[in-house]
Amino acid sequence: MTHPDRIRRRTGRERGFTMVELMITLVVTVFALMGLLALNTTFSHGSTSVSQTQEAVTVGERVLEELRAKRIEDLSAELTGSRTSAPPFSRDSYASVSGRNGMTYTVDVAVTSVTASLWRMRVVVAWTVEGSQEPRRLPLELLRASTEAL
């Protein structure tokens, strides 16, 4: 038989956790960490999307300013091949710009006549996000006098 001093019985004064309590704590902790990981992934994708959109805005503004700075004859010649063309005219895939992290932005240009002396220049920047089949599009427009040149 065993010695009575060696036998320990749990009394109300003893503190500690049972195996069930430890397992429940472990399961709750694992689910909380999984939720935090999912939240981190969502924020990371959102940050990437904002960065790509901002880069598309920069590309579009640069192309618009380059086109606005051209003389009317040079603008017509660049978009149509004829220096005497009058709006409306457009050019798909006017430019293809490589951005950060290998992202490629495609720029389409369209020019329409609002009045005899006022033109609307529209630039659409498109890019495809990884994992998506449909490209994202960002349109930018400005009005320009047909006699204006910088």
Q: Is the peptide bond before 4 cis (omega within 30 degrees of 0)?
A: no
- For the chain (length 150 residues), average pLDDT per consecutive 10? 58 75 91 86 72 91 92 88 88 89 90 90 91 88 76
Any domain includes 150: no
Q: What is the pLDDT of residues 26-65, one digit of tens each?
A: 999 999 898 888 887 776 666 678 888 899 999 999 999 9
- Check residue 59 and give its pLDDT: 94
Any domain includes 6: no
Any domain includes 114: yes
pTM for this model (two decimals)? 0.68
Number of domains in the chain: 1
In the block, tokens 């910088």 appear at 150
Any domain includes 12: no
Any domain includes 42: yes
Q: What are phi and psi of 4, to 5 degrees?
A: -65, -25
> Which residue range forms the structural domain that includes residue 108?
19-145
Q: Determine contact, residues 104/93, Cβ cutoff 8 Å.
A: no
Any domain includes 5: no
Any domain includes 65: yes
Any domain includes 136: yes
- Check residue 1 and give its pLDDT: 53
